[in-house]
Amino acid sequence: MRSRLVLYVALVVLALLPLLQATPEFWITQLNYIGLASMVVLGLVLLTGVGGLTSFGQAAFVGIGAYTTAWMTTALGTSPWLALVVGLILTFVVAYVLGAITLRLSGHFLPLGTLAWCLALYYLFGNLEFLGQYDGISGIAPIHFFGLSLEHGRHLYYLIWVILLLSMWATHNLLDSRPGRAIRALRSGGGMAESFGVHMLAYKVVIFVYAALLACVSGWLYAHMQRAVSPSPFGLKYGIEYLFMAVVGGAGSIWGAIAGSGLILILKDQIQNVLPQVLHTTANFELIVFGVLMIWVLQYARNGVWPIVVSWWQALAGARGRRSPPPPEAPLLPQRPRPEKGSLVLEVEGIRKVFGGLVAVNDISFTLRAGEIMGLIGPNGAGKSTTFNLITGVLPLTGGTVNFLGRRLDQLRSREIARLGVGRTFQHVQLLPTMTVLENVALGAHLRSNIGVLSAALHLERRGEAELLHEAARQLQRVGLGDYLYEQAGNLALGQQRILEIARALAADPVLLLLDEPAAGLRYKEKQELAQVLDQLRAEGMSILLVEHDMDFVMSLTDHLVVMDFGTKLAEGLPAEVQSNPAVLEAYLGGIDEDMEFDDEPGGTAAAGATA
């Protein structure tokens, strides 16, 4: 509440500043520059801070916006507003093409790629004759808005800040939505999100284009503020400076865009003023002092200054962070048709995986029917997780085929397999730890909605979002995590995180559920509750493939078992048959200490260990 009040007061002050004659002209100019830079940096917050894609090239997109309007308004005499539309289209096309090529690069190749095209566009601006080469274009007319000329900084100020604040609002909406959750998964959960149908490359291109469009608008405003353009403000030096602003402000936070731009532009200006007086020299020491100051800031504020401001504010106001309201009641999402109980769902035929000289999965075959729980067991390193990864398309097969409801899976990508109705959990928990439990589970339901970037940014997706969040909450209630909806996922105990993964997989409305060690880290009672949930799912006709080391859990729950050892199928059959199979006993007795898990409760699995 108090934060809102501060925000409203800040907005009123911001709105009044140019109206007060006492406000120095210099302040207005400085605020205009901060607003323009913040627009570019906001794009970088999304691209680099949230999406983890480093770009040194944003200044080039500022240049496209600036040069388009400069040339169109001076050479063709068109309206700046038409030039803005053309600039946005041009930027969209250039960013789309550059993004589709560059964003396939990973590691340090991506930032290097952005350096390359930033330099290329800079030299293009400087060499094209019709753009005035390195002299640029001057005599650009001011923008008119409903007949009012925005010639003066005090007038243009309003346009700059209204556009910036609207962009911040749209970016906030976007991040807090279905596409936003996918974007937030880009940095650390790419592989996991693909398993829930998220097209990661497409989302990378989306945020790249989004950031480029913001930079283009900034360039358009810049050209009409300066009334002249030349290549230098669109070169690599400024590309680096924008990135610097994002990092210093707090690359992951929307308000960090203003904080970073403001801090750097004010600091640069103050150093330029103060340094010659202190050092009694006109020599150019500003950059050195500026660099040292920045290193000092980053030493003490690795995540940028905005998170520090927030924690100060919380300490001062006693605020405990924003608590979202419970998800509203909403109609249930449509469910995909279920195969008839007992019908064939999964048919794995001679699958094989070779890693160099190691045959991790050696011609494994089995079938799974609707309403059946099948256990895949075996000592450590037997090849169980690799088998999961082959079925779900995370790893390509060396040989064999996988059929799911009559369709070949082995040539599909993991996101296409997810779309067909295969949900999974991971052996090593893969959550987005800073997102809430509810948001993590809603990511699982990604394919059950088609909310797009535009409707999310404009906040037109309320009904669809409510349905997704309601579904996520419903699945969390089902697995017993209903009290943790707004907890950060990273704060849950490991066992709870595994249960969260099951809720996320269920949110995808799968026909086949692959659970990799779901009971690991759970207490006795939690295991019993999990067994009840899985039992109920089976009764509803779900097919479940289960990798698990807890023999008590496996033996009491599964209908059918496949035992693997050294990548090969050792035995297959009913749990009771498998338990007495001499080859299985041999394989397990060799590794009983490490492979068998014992329950916390007395009398739990001690016997079970020996049963397998």
E runs forming strands in 439-520: 512-516
Q: Which x/- pattern, by CB under 6 A, does the window 426-465 give for ligand ATP?
A: -x--------------------------------------
Q: How far is the CB of 411 from ligand ATP (least distance, A)?
A: 20
E runs forming strands in 370-511: 373-377, 399-404, 407-408, 422-424
Residue 381 sits in the site that holds ligand ATP (CB under 6 A): yes
- Which residues neighbour 522 within 8 Å (Cβ) at sequence distance 6 or greater? 495, 498, 499, 530
Which C-beta is closer to ligand ATP: that of 277 or that of 380?
380
Give me 515's structure tokens. 């659970």
Q: Are 458 and 524 in contact (CB under 8 A)?
A: no
CA-based nearest residue to 196, from 210, 205, 185, 207:
185
Residue 561 sits in the site that holds ligand ATP (CB under 6 A): no
422-424/512-516 β-pairing: parallel
Q: Which stretch binds ligand ATP (CB under 6 A): 192-200, 354-362, 397-405, 480-488?
A: 354-362
Residue 383 sits in the site that holds ligand ATP (CB under 6 A): yes
For residue 610, count CB atoms less than 10 angstroms from its CB and return exposed for 0-12, middle for 13-18, buried for 19 or more: middle
Q: Which stretch binds ligand ATP (CB under 6 A): 155-163, 271-279, 382-390, 447-455?
A: 382-390
Q: Are 36 and 222 in contact (CB under 8 A)?
A: yes
Residue 168 sits in the site that holds ligand ATP (CB under 6 A): no
Residue 385 sits in the site that holds ligand ATP (CB under 6 A): yes
β-strand partners of 348: 366, 402
β-strand partners of 361: 353
- Which residues neighbour 36 within 8 Å (Cβ) at sequence distance 6 or greater? 160, 218, 221, 222, 225
Amino acid at 283: A
CA-based nearest residue to 184, from 198, 197, 170:
198
Which C-beta is closer to ligand ATP: that of 282 or that of 380?
380
Q: Which stretch binds ligand ATP (CB under 6 A): 263-271, 373-381, 447-455, 487-495?
A: 373-381
β-strand partners of 368: 346
Q: Which x/- pattern, by CB under 6 A, does the window 402-431 give for ligand ATP?
A: -------------------------x----
Which C-beta is closer to ligand ATP: that of 136 or that of 518?
518
Q: Which x/- pattern, by CB under 6 A, does the window 309-348 give for ligand ATP?
A: ----------------------------------------
Residue 386 sits in the site that holds ligand ATP (CB under 6 A): yes
Q: Are 80 and 103 in contact (CB under 8 A)?
A: no
Residue choice 360, 394, 431, 500 for contact with ligand ATP (CB under 6 A)? 360
Which C-beta is closer to ligand ATP: that of 5 or that of 358?
358
Which C-beta is closer to ligand ATP: that of 140 or that of 382?
382
Q: Which helix (H) or strand (E) holds 606?
A: helix 606-611
Residue 299 sits in the site that holds ligand ATP (CB under 6 A): no
Q: How far is the CB of 361 from ligand ATP (least distance, A)?
A: 7
Q: Which helix (H) or strand (E) holds 424?
A: strand 422-424
Residue choice 51, 57, 250, 378 for contact with ligand ATP (CB under 6 A)? 378
Q: How far is the CB of 595 from ligand ATP (least distance, A)?
A: 8
Radius of gyration of the chain measured on its C-alpha atoms: 29
Residue choice 82, 101, 279, 358 for contact with ligand ATP (CB under 6 A)? 358
CA angle (309 as vertex; 307, 315 as ends), nearest 5 = 100
Q: Which x/- pattern, by CB under 6 A, does the window 76-115 give for ligand ATP?
A: ----------------------------------------
HEC states along 80-139?
A: HHHHHHHHHHHHHHHHHHHHHHHCCCCCCHHHHHHHHHHHHHHHHHHHCHHHCHHHCEEC
Which C-beta is closer to ligand ATP: that of 164 or that of 360?
360
User: How many residues line the site for ligand ATP (CB under 6 A)?
Assistant: 12
Q: Under DSSP, is residue 411 helix (H, G, I), strand (E, B) or coil? A: coil
Neighbours of 187 (CB within 10 A): 15
Q: How far is the CB of 14 from ligand ATP (least distance, A)?
A: 53
Which C-beta is closer to ligand ATP: that of 188 or that of 427?
427
Which C-beta is closer to ligand ATP: that of 410 or that of 597?
597
Q: Which stretch binds ligand ATP (CB under 6 A): 315-323, 337-345, 377-385, 600-608?
A: 377-385
Residue choice 106, 277, 299, 380 for contact with ligand ATP (CB under 6 A)? 380
CA-based nearest residue to 229, from 90, 75, 120:
75
Binding stretches for ligand ATP (CB under 6 A): 355, 358, 360, 378, 380-386, 427
